[in-house]
Chain A
Amino acid sequence: MLEETFYQGSSFLHRADPRAKVICVFFLAFAIAYLHKISAAMAGLLVGLLFLYGAKLPPSKIIKRLIVVNAFIGFLWLFLPFSAPGKVIFSIWKLNATVEGIEMATLITLKCNAILLMIISFAASTPVPVLGLALTSLRLPQKLILLLLISYRYLSVIFQEYNRLLQAARIRCFVAKNNMHTYRTYAYLLAMVLIRSYERGRRVYQAMLLRGFNGRFYCLQDFQLRKQDLLLALGTGLCVLILIGTDHIGAIPGVPWGA
């Protein structure tokens, strides 16, 4: 179910300290989300591409993923050019497309894809267990991290359980259609998945207690900040400054969209 094919890499991002990566992605993503100008958003997209380069991921797969995820953006393109007030450039029937609307849609598309490229590069180079440990040392609540790690551990198990039940239904000639029978079947099936997960959760906890679990996972891996991590942090800081700077050059207060 979950693609983890990219984890085995030796790129710059794969080798970087996960704590440094978390912090850098956090600040960069918010900086890009803040931008109001197309020029700045283009610079943001460049940063996203840099990340992609840093993680050395196969471009064809990334493009495929981006196309799927841009569905929401496509949905906005249907409406935004016609709903923003401004200078009309063309009209279909009674709908007037405005320059402002098209600019806004372009801006959103750029920002969205810039951040997505960063998320893909980050997620592809950081396995979730490692991320959990990094977040622990960044002082996030222990319970939240346990939730993250344990639910990650059981995702594929429960997905298999669901598939087994679905297979059993299919063997009995279940075909999904638009009727109450389908909805009832799915509801029973999912309720069964919930019950099994609940039972499994109890057994898992008992097994953990039996092995001396006291509320935290111990980390055997020692994270160390190296020169390249400082470089990453420095680069990120610089990028954030440049992005916000570009965004504010010539900006008239009050005009940026959304402000």
Chain B
Amino acid sequence: MHISEGVLAAPVLVGGAAICIGGTALGLRRMSQDEVPKVAVLTAAFFVASLVHVPLGPSSVHLILNGLIGLILGWAAFPALLIALFFQAIFFQFGGLTVLGVNTVNMAFPGVVAYYLCSGMARSDNHLLSIVGGFIAGAGAVAGAGILVAVSLYLSNRAFLTPAKAVLLAHLPIMIIEGIITVIMISFLKRVKPELLRAKEDAPC
């Protein structure tokens, strides 16, 4: 869920922007020149994936896939999500410019955590381990994003406590869907294009 413009307090905005700059700088430094076009096209693909609405109960939710983004891109998830969120801000006005930093951190940071915690498990040849790793990455990254959104709201103003709780609650069903879809996507990628999950190790082109 994106936080809109004008909601957060200035210190939260500035703090988020600072962390976002740090993460993006690290992501860019770890990305070799050869990887730039690949990451760029994958960024576009993730942007498209975020437009996909999956039915859930009487309504539908749109995918975030920040866990999978983290697993595939590692620290490059920061610049990739920064750009995807920038596009959402200027094309659809979801999110915004002053909250771009906070929103990027909220989405990308759990992805990077998933990269460190789960990429070994998700890539493992053991089927069960891979399923568990993928689910934790997919569901955990969405949960992380929900928690960070709630924390940024709460830090801005204590009166946001109730909406922050509601945000967390709304993330619960999305977590499960994202976990399931991430697991299936990983198992598909492992069978069809295993090097995509090992983007870091494989030689450029």
Contacts and interface: CB of A to CB of B under 8 A. Distances in A.
Contacts of B92: 68-69
B159 A197 contact: no
A79 B92 CA distance: 25
B162 A147 contact: no
B38 A33 contact: no
B193 interface: yes
B151 interface: no
A120 B9 contact: no
Given A29-B97, A147-B40, A190-B181, A111 B6 contact: yes
Interface residues of A, number: 89
Given A146-B40, A176-B54, A205-B205, A158 B45 contact: yes
B146 interface: no
Contact of A190 (B37, B52, B159): B52
Contacts of A259: 9
A72 interface: yes
Contact of A201 (B25, B41, B57, B87): B41
B141 to A, nearest CB: 16
A105 B117 CA distance: 39
A233 interface: no
A30 B98 contact: yes
Contacts of B163: 75-76, 78-80, 83
B44 A154 contact: yes
B36 interface: yes
Interface stretch (A13-21, A51-59, A180-188): A180-188
Interface in A137-182: 141, 143-144, 146-152, 154-155, 157-159, 162, 176-178, 180, 182
Given A176-B54, A195-B193, 7 more contacts: A114-B6, A143-B33, A149-B40, A150-B37, A154-B41, A200-B41, A257-B159
Interface of A: 1-3, 25-26, 29-30, 32-34, 41, 65-66, 68-69, 72-73, 75-76, 78-80, 82-85, 100-101, 104, 107-116, 119-120, 122-123, 128, 141, 143-144, 146-152, 154-155, 157-159, 162, 176-178, 180, 182-184, 186-188, 190-195, 197-198, 200-202, 204-206, 208, 215, 257-259
Interface of B: 1-11, 13, 24-25, 28, 31, 33-34, 36-45, 47-49, 51-52, 54-57, 63, 65, 72, 79-80, 82-84, 86-87, 89-94, 96-99, 156-157, 159-163, 166, 177, 180-182, 184-185, 188-189, 192-193, 196, 204-205
10 pairs of A and B residues whose beta carbons are closest in the complex:
A111-B6, A258-B9, A201-B41, A150-B40, A187-B184, A112-B6, A201-B38, A123-B90, A197-B45, A84-B159
